[in-house]
Amino acid sequence: MSKEESFSKDFSEFDNYQFGHHDKVKHIASTGKGISRDVVSKISELKNEPSWMTDIRLKAYEVFEKKPMPSWGPDLSEINFEEFTYFIRSTEKESDQWEDMPQEILDTFDKLGIPEAEKKFLAGASAQYESEAVYHKLNEELGKQGVIFLTMDQAVKEEPELVKKYFGSVIPASDNKFSALNTAVWSGGSFIYVPPGVEVNTPLQTYFRINEEEFGQFERTLIIADEGAKVVYNEGCSAPKWAKSSLHAAVVELVALDNSRIDYQTIQNWYKNIYNLVTKRAVAKKNATVTWLDINVGSRITIKYPSVMMMGEGARGEVQSIAFANEEQLQDSGAKMIHGAPNTTSVVTSKSISKGTGRSSYRGLVKVLKGAKNSSCRVECDALLINEESRTDTYPVMDISEDDTQIAHEASVSKVNEDQIFYLQSRGIPEIDAMKMVVNGFLEPMVKKLPLEYSVEFQRLVELELEGSVG
Amino acid sequence: MKKFSWPDRTNEYWRRASFLKPPQDFKISDISPVEKWEILPDFNTHISFSNGNLIDQDLKEGVSIKSINPNDSLSRPGSIPGGEPWNQWTISNGNVYQIDIDDTFPENEPLVIREKICPSGKISSNYFFCNIKKNINLSIYYLIEGSGEGFHSGGFTIVLDSSSNLKLMHIQDISKKTDARFNWEIKNNKKTNSEWNLAALGGRSVRHECRLELQKESNSSLKGVYVPYDGQRHEFQTQQDHKEGDSTSDLLLKGAVGSGSRGIFQGMINIRPEAQKSNAYQTNRNLSLSRNARIETIPGLEIEANDVKCSHGATVSKIDPYSLFYLSSRGIEKNEAAKLLAEGFFYEVSDNFPKEIRSVVNESINKRLLEAF
């Protein structure tokens, strides 16, 4: 097949989502639909967990029941917690050999290109299917240096002291309704510990796949970079095309101790029926750096504001966020920067594109606590509107209780420049290609900062999403 | 009349409000006789209010004022979300007036509306609708001053009929013991221009709700300063509501916040789907003068059309230490230097006031800056 033919084949699908296949996979265990105290205990029992974790879960379940749904932002009234299945086990045991897993699941990940990517770019990879990891492997060299890369379930058994110390220390169960839900029914996710002075420069990656409809995925990730350590972590995700919605409510906690650095990179490409309600937060101690790269292309509603709490002197936080809201999607993303110590700096750069009836919102918080002298923060948000019905909103909050600061926020909104499109057309470039070039130009300053494999993948995603935007 | 309930803290626009409803068990205050006007005492063409009541008028041809029954009035005040019950309460408890201005009003003379607020432990309240007829160039000076303790709720709706131009020079300098809530809005009809300069200086805990509504091909700007110090709390809720296209709005609010005080800005630009080819700008710049100052700034955009240019910006910083050092090295005392720099910071806004008011505004700002450090 020529390149043109394969492109037009991709585009012939009604919504261009290339990961929409569903594989029939038998479940080994499932809690069935609905949530209750019993479901929470049963998840813990199926996982053979120590009693302290069961207690954490049950306490969180009480909080979940009491907490109201968020009253601000996107409308979540269609979520019925009784309709979801909260736990599905697909394989008996996770493996460090791709060949060991059931053929259907292997096929899924093959189609997504994960085993291929692992060979080329990654120092460690994990693949989560429904509730639990089916594959997990860390580069042996790193293992020898003392790097711990486990699934969260393993970590509870193998590293209980570290888990007890840090689990819920950045995002307590009571933070919001969805963090409480996650703490009650969490399953899967990654646990990473990098010992002092060790630098992991090739990324560790986890790929999350939801295969069933009306399912809830609640992974829990905890990354600890000890003093002077460095780590890069990638996550990706996708789901089949289903008529009914699934729920993804993850909690990600990062702990960056003195002089360490954590880079966390996400491409969120869920199918357009997933509620993606994620709490992500990092603590940065003295001179530590945390960066979030947050790309949202998929999902029906995304609510996600990666945050950095800069609690040590000289800490640094950075969020780069790109959101693409296509037909009927709502991308409510942003960033939160809490300056809690002197000489802390943060940067937020956000670019969003709204197409068709899509709506993208930037919602952010910059908080400078008393005593955070000489701290500075810069927030920049740009929005691009493609069609007449497209919508974009910006809701930043700045709350400053310290005089010795430099805080700036800038936002701008514009539409695709017709003169540029006309010029490109006059040079013989079809309108749709001209549109792609203009949009890629808008994203260029950010895309060129992405790691190579991400920027290629992302440009391709944007081009797919833009199909049908002209005429 | 539609029944509203008082806003609560789940409403985004009221989360940071110091009061959600008027004080309970209130008594409406009486007219207090005005012996002396502090700001610009010598104007001829004027309308004077005391505690919400019309006490005096000296009007030329082309302008008239009458007391109206709010239920008969066709125009209802617009408000930012959650403000409706306040407006309803204000017009049913206070005095409501209608001011009409037609094209026989002399062009080069300002219309002065002045208001004294001395509620003496009680509540005063009033609202006026001002209708400016077609093809008029007009300037209004609206000067509010006051003394004593109490609570005031008031506001205006100025409606500009097509092809009119308005300059509104606006000073709010009520007593530092009075709390207040104001609802101020300008409705720009087709092909109108309005320029609104605001110095919001007085009051203890004051909530200013400012609205600009724009129809086709209209331009509207709001430039304001605030200098809360010594425990004052100044809150601004603004909305630039573009109902129709080819319209331009520009908002600039500059604040310097002193010790123990709070400055809160929450603004929203709304571009409705029909308002293609609109431009809207919103800027909030803050100087923090003290470690005990607290500044919150929440600019906002809600855009439902695609062919628009909108931007907003917000900054918070302290007085530039290098400039301060430079001025000190030239022998200017540190407090004086800081005052000069703060003055320069406000110049962008204060310079827009006409000569006779500018000196009043500058002096008031300077007095506050001296005490704020």
- Tens-digit pLDDT profile for residues A94-136: 788 888 878 878 887 887 777 887 777 777 888 888 888 888 8
Q: Do B303 and A385 touch (CB under 8 A)?
A: yes
B-chain CB neighbours of A408 within 8 Å are 313-315
B-chain CB neighbours of A405 within 8 Å are 288, 316-318
Q: Do B298 and A395 touch (CB under 8 A)?
A: yes
Interface test mutation site (partner B, options A398, A418, A435, max chain B beta carbons within 10 A): A398
Does B321 contact chain A (CB < 8 Å)? no
Average confidence score pLDDT of chain A:
87
pLDDT above 50: residue A228: yes
The pLDDT-based confidence of B35 (bands split at 50, 70, 90) is confident
pLDDT above 90 as % of chain A: 52
B158 within 8 A of B195, measured Cβ to Cβ: no
Q: What pTM was computed for the model?
A: 0.82
Which candidate from B273, B291, B310 shows the least CB-CB separation from A413? B310
Which candidate from B304, B306, B310 shows the least CB-CB separation from A412? B310
Q: Do A413 and B299 touch (CB under 8 A)?
A: no
Stronger pLDDT, A312 or B22, i.e. the higher one: A312
Q: pLDDT digits over B240-269, tens only?
A: 999 999 999 999 999 999 989 999 999 999
Q: Do B315 and A383 touch (CB under 8 A)?
A: no
d(CA A470, CA A387): 9
DSSP state of A96: S
Q: Do B303 and A413 touch (CB under 8 A)?
A: yes
Q: pLDDT digits over B12-34, tens only?
A: 888 888 888 888 877 888 888 88
| A-B contacts at Cβ under 8 angstroms | 114
In this predicted structure, what is the pLDDT of residue A431? 87
The full set of domain ranges for chain A reads 21-304, 425-471
Q: pLDDT digits over A438-455, tens only?
A: 888 888 888 877 777 677
Nearest chain B alpha carbon to A393: B302
Q: pLDDT digits over B330-355, tens only?
A: 999 988 888 889 889 999 999 999 98
Question: How many other C-beta atoms can be found within 10 angstroms of the C-beta atom of residue B89?
Answer: 17
Q: B26: distance to nearest CA of chain A, Å?
A: 33
Does B272 contact chain A (CB < 8 Å)? no
Q: A407: distance to nearest CA of chain B, Å?
A: 5
Average confidence score pLDDT of chain B:
90
Q: A377: distance to nearest CA of chain B, Å?
A: 10
Three-state DSSP string of B309-339: EEEEEEEEECCCHHHHHHHHHCCCCHHHHHH
pLDDT above 60: residue A270: yes
B-chain CB neighbours of A342 within 8 Å are none
First CA to last CA distance, chain B: 49
Does B308 contact chain A (CB < 8 Å)? yes
The pLDDT-based confidence of A6 (bands split at 50, 70, 90) is very low
- Helix A114-121 to helix A452-466 angle (10° resolution) is 150
* Tokens read off for A291: 């960066």
A-chain CB neighbours of B251 within 8 Å are none
With an 8 Å Cβ cutoff, the interface of chain A facing chain B consists of 71-72, 368, 370, 383, 385-415
Stronger pLDDT, A468 or A21, i.e. the higher one: A21
Which candidate from A385, A396, A407 shows the least CB-CB separation from B299? A396
Who's near B334: CB < 8 A, 6+ residues apart? B324, B328
A97-104 contacts: CB < 8 A, separation 24 or more?
A98/A135, A101/A134, A101/A135, A102/A25, A104/A23, A104/A24, A104/A25
Q: Do B313 and A406 touch (CB under 8 A)?
A: no
Q: pLDDT digits over A379-398, tens only?
A: 999 999 988 888 999 999 99
The pLDDT-based confidence of A12 (bands split at 50, 70, 90) is very low
pLDDT above 80: residue B200: yes
In this predicted structure, what is the pLDDT of residue A9? 41
Q: What's the residue count for chain A?
A: 471
B-chain CB neighbours of A398 within 8 Å are 295-298, 314, 316
Q: A397: distance to nearest CA of chain B, Å?
A: 4
Which candidate from B304, B310, B316 shows the least CB-CB separation from A398? B316
pLDDT above 80: residue A29: yes
> For A386, left (φ over 0), alpha (ψ -120 to 50), or beta?
alpha
Q: Do A413 and B309 touch (CB under 8 A)?
A: yes
The pLDDT-based confidence of A16 (bands split at 50, 70, 90) is low
Q: A165: distance to nearest CA of chain B, Å?
A: 35
Nearest chain B alpha carbon to A364: B298
Q: B139: distance to nearest CA of chain A, Å?
A: 33
> DSSP characters for A29-93?
EE--BS--HHHHHHHHHHTT--HHHHHHHHHHHHHHHHSPPP-SSS--TT--GGGSB--EE-SSS
Does B12 contact chain A (CB < 8 Å)? yes
Q: B262: distance to nearest CA of chain A, Å?
A: 9
Q: B114: distance to nearest CA of chain A, Å?
A: 35
Which candidate from B276, B303, B316 shows the least CB-CB separation from A391? B303
Q: Over range A39-59, report the average pLDDT.
A: 94
Q: Do A385 and B308 touch (CB under 8 A)?
A: yes
pLDDT above 60: residue A15: no
d(CA B182, CA B238): 12
pLDDT above 60: residue A4: no
Nearest one of A200, A92, A91 to A138, comparing CA atoms = A200
Q: A68: distance to nearest CA of chain B, Å?
A: 12
A353 within 8 A of A382, measured Cβ to Cβ: no
Which candidate from B273, B296, B301 shows the least CB-CB separation from A411? B301
Q: A373: distance to nearest CA of chain B, Å?
A: 9
Reduced to 3 states (helix: H, G, I; strand: E, B; else coil), residue A98 is helix
d(CA B160, CA A291): 51
Q: B366: distance to nearest CA of chain A, Å?
A: 20
A-chain CB neighbours of B302 within 8 Å are 391, 393
Q: Do B301 and A414 touch (CB under 8 A)?
A: no
Q: Do B316 and A405 touch (CB under 8 A)?
A: yes
Does B69 contact chain A (CB < 8 Å)? no
DSSP state of A341: S
Q: pLDDT digits over A354-382, tens only?
A: 988 999 999 999 999 999 999 999 999 99
The pLDDT-based confidence of B74 (bands split at 50, 70, 90) is low
In this predicted structure, what is the pLDDT of residue A232? 92
The pLDDT-based confidence of B99 (bands split at 50, 70, 90) is very high
Q: Do A394 and B300 touch (CB under 8 A)?
A: yes
Q: Over range A320-343, report the average pLDDT.
A: 93
Question: How many other C-beta atoms can be found within 10 angstroms of the C-beta atom of residue B140?
Answer: 21
Nearest chain A alpha carbon to B308: A414
Q: Exposed, middle or buried by CB within 10 Å (0-12, 13-18, 19+), for A51?
A: exposed
pLDDT above 60: residue A3: no
In this predicted structure, what is the pLDDT of residue A205? 87
A-chain CB neighbours of B313 within 8 Å are 408-411
pLDDT above 90: residue A309: yes
B301 within 8 A of B269, measured Cβ to Cβ: yes
A-chain CB neighbours of B290 within 8 Å are 403
Stronger pLDDT, B150 or A22, i.e. the higher one: B150
d(CA B41, CA B52): 19
Q: Do B311 and A402 touch (CB under 8 A)?
A: no
A-chain CB neighbours of B12 within 8 Å are 72
Q: Do A396 and B298 touch (CB under 8 A)?
A: yes
Q: B304: distance to nearest CA of chain A, Å?
A: 5
Q: How far is CA A182 from the centre of its chain?
A: 15
Alpha carbon separation from A273 to A182, A280, B12 (Å, rounded): 20, 21, 28
In this predicted structure, what is the pLDDT of residue B127? 92
B34 within 8 A of B49, measured Cβ to Cβ: no
In this predicted structure, what is the pLDDT of residue A298? 87
pLDDT above 80: residue B2: no
In this predicted structure, what is the pLDDT of residue B139? 93
The pLDDT-based confidence of B73 (bands split at 50, 70, 90) is low
In this predicted structure, what is the pLDDT of residue A13? 40
Q: Over range A340-349, report the average pLDDT.
A: 95
B-chain CB neighbours of A412 within 8 Å are 309-311
Reduced to 3 states (helix: H, G, I; strand: E, B; else coil), residue A349 is strand
A284-303 as b/e, with b when 16 or more CB fall inside 10 Å?
A: bbbbbbbbbbbbbbbbbbbb
Q: Over range B167-194, report the average pLDDT.
A: 95
Q: pLDDT digits over B146-167, tens only?
A: 988 899 999 999 999 999 999 9
